[in-house]
Structure 1
């Protein structure tokens, strides 16, 4: 009787664990399509419009590679942020959140980041800007081809 009880508890716990692991985290929205990806950061600078301002994003070197240090540049921000950081997270797979602190250099904010690798051929990422822990509502989606 004890064996049956232990087996039932293990099955219930396993099912609960599988369910909890499939829930999206607070800051990650699961997006299966690429409708928000309109520019290729692998080959060019990409800009978005936010509150009437053009904000430009770029990575160097190009094309983007996983597990290689990249320089991220953000241009066009009108506000002088003291604790600006970028958070990069997967849209088609949960790869955790990659955080890069951005340093103000005149009209640019610059930081260093290493993108995670994955087993999927094309990884969809979202790069979102924060001031400390406060979301600014400024983001851009991009692909990383493995």
Structure 2
């Protein structure tokens, strides 16, 4: 009997742990991302920013978690110390911060996406010298 109690306690704790990590989220990333006009996971996107059409691309496609990914912005304009902060909308995975390097008229940054379970809706916000420039974009990272 003394040997069964620790086993039962272990099974109870393990069961609660697995239920917690697999419990259904109250947010559905695909439903949250349904309003997106472009799916950057499979194609490059063009976003209106002021008077410009800024092209956003993430490569390689399709996007995958824990794989180095290049974020490119074309036709954005001139900004000093441009950076991006990416955050999960449907789940807090912390911040993914990266600085851009300008090559001609193209800004490039390297990022690595993380995901916990299911699909992730991400929001990207651009900063110049640590201040937001008013450019935001969202995309769905399908796991």
Using structure 1 for the length normalisation, give the TM-score.
0.73
The 1:84–1:36 alpha-carbon spacing in structure 2 relative to 1, beyond 3 Å, is farther
1:77 Cα offset (Å): 1.1
Give ranges in structure 1 of 5+ residues lacking alignment: 1-31
- Larger helix fraction of residues: 2
Match of 2:7 in 1: none
8 Å CA contact retained: 2:70, 2:111: yes
TM alignment of 1:85-124, pairs within 5 A: 85-119=83-117, 121-124=118-121
Match of 2:65 in 1: 66
SS of residue paired to 1:34: helix
8 Å CA contact retained: 1:36, 1:141: no
Match of 2:38 in 1: 39
8 Å CA contact retained: 2:73, 2:106: yes
8 Å CA contact retained: 1:45, 1:58: yes
- Report the Cα distance in structure 1 between the residues aligned to 2:37 and 2:93, rounded to whole angstroms: 22
Using structure 2 for the length normalisation, give the TM-score.
0.75
- Report the Cα distance in structure 1 between the residues aligned to 2:102 and 2:80, rounded to whole angstroms: 8
Any idea what the Cα deviations from partners look like across 1:69-104, whole Å, max 9, x if unmatched? 0011011112x2220001100111111110111001
Structure 1 stretches of at least 4 aligned residues deviating more than 2 Å after TM superposition:
32-36
Match of 1:24 in 2: none
1:122 Cα offset (Å): 1.1
